[in-house]
């Protein structure tokens, strides 16, 4: 009889752990992937050449809606799951700290700026930094720090 009660208790603890920790973390990583997808879709397609024709208004409207949707989702997540937001920010390993609220508000700011401007670049780099994305816009070389250990100058 005791093993039956311990089994029910263990099932309850597993269910509570899943509901409190795992589902919000899964939602956060889905929002993070959605933000990365929006950045890849709209920031890499913009041609920074000043002689290039400006993007059409339909593309700009789609970009704005996608960024607003991602930013609102991240801000809503940070507001409704404040415990998980604090948890992902206070991870002991510095490389795995995420700033969810900051990423959401910067994503909403990115929606309001024109692509290719300094303000757009500012918001994009802050979103990438807050969500710890490995993102390099087209035309920029990525830094390879790990090669410094193997290559002697």
Give the separation between CA 74 and CA 104, rounded to whole angstroms.
5
Encoded tokens for 68: 């607003």
Give the separation between CA 12 and CA 146, rounded to whole angstroms.
45
Give the separation between CA 1 and CA 139, rounded to whole angstroms.
67
pLDDT along the chain (153 residues), means of 10: 84 86 90 92 72 82 95 94 85 79 94 88 91 70 51 43
Could you say which DSSP state residue 116 is in? T
Give the separation between CA 47 and CA 70, rounded to whole angstroms.
23
Question: What burial class does residue 87 get, using C-beta atoms within 10 Å of its C-beta: 0-12 exposed, 13-18 middle, 19+ buried?
Answer: middle
C-alpha angle with apex 116: 111 to 118, nearest 5 degrees?
85
- What is the structure's pLDDT at 78? 93
Encoded tokens for 69: 């949707």
- What is the structure's pLDDT at 142? 54
């Amino acid at each position: 009889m005791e093993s039956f009660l311990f089994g029910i208790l263990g099932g309850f603890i597993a269910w509570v752990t899943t509901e409190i920790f795992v589902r919000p973390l899964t939602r956060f990583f889905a929002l993070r992937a959605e933000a990365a997808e929006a950045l890849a879709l709209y920031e890499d397609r913009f041609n920074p050449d000043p002689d290039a024709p400006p993007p059409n208004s339909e593309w700009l409207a789609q970009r704005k809606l996608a960024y607003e949707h991602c930013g609102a989702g991240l801000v809503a997540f940070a507001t409704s799951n404040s415990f998980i937001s604090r948890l992902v920010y206070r991870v002991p390993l510095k490389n795995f700290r995420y700033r969810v609220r900051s990423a959401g508000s910067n994503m909403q700011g990115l929606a309001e700026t024109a692509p290719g401007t300094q303000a757009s670049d500012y918001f994009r780099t802050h979103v990438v930094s807050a969500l710890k994305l490995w993102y390099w816009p087209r035309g920029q070389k990525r830094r390879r720090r790990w090669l410094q250990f193997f290559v002697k100058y």
